[in-house]
Amino acid sequence: MNIKENIPIAIYDDRCYLCTKFANLVNFIARGNITIIGHYSNEGEEIRGEILDDSALEMFWLIDEKMAYGGRAALIPLFWSIIKSKKKKYNNMKSDITCKQECKTVKSVFIRSASLLSNSKKIALK
């Protein structure tokens, strides 16, 4: 998969029920104009190896032309990508929801939300 052709790319935890719901919501709001890829898919593993670092699985990511934004740092760029993107993108929304945690509980929603707001990272692209 050519990363440059599919920018912006949102990468999410495709083994988590809540994260998959979040990715589906982003895909719906963006009308399919953002490439959405799961962390554990072949494409996600390829991107993690090429661009992201060891903390990649701790948060969702948004990759644009210049930066890879993780967690809290990705929220505003994601918002702008939804508004600006006009071209249909590659979509890999096949999810293997084999979550080891109780992802459907209220407590899990708060834990995941707190994790989203507490984790933040930016990686400059070469």
What does the domain layout of the chain look like in residue ranges?
4-124
Mean pLDDT of the chain: 82
Ranking 14-18, 67-71, 96-100, 109-113 by mean pLDDT, the lowest is 96-100
pTM summary value: 0.80
Q: What is the pLDDT of residues 14-52, one digit of tens each?
A: 888 888 888 999 999 998 889 999 999 999 999 988 888
The secondary structure of 41-109, three-state, reads: CHHHHHHHHHCCCHHHHHCCEEECCCEEEEEHHHHHHHHHHHHHCCCCCCEECCCCCCCCCCCCCHHHH
For the record, the structure tokens of 86 come out as: 């006009």
pLDDT at 94 over 60: no
Report how far residue 2's alpha carbon sits from residue 43's, in angstroms, rounded to the nearest whole number.
10
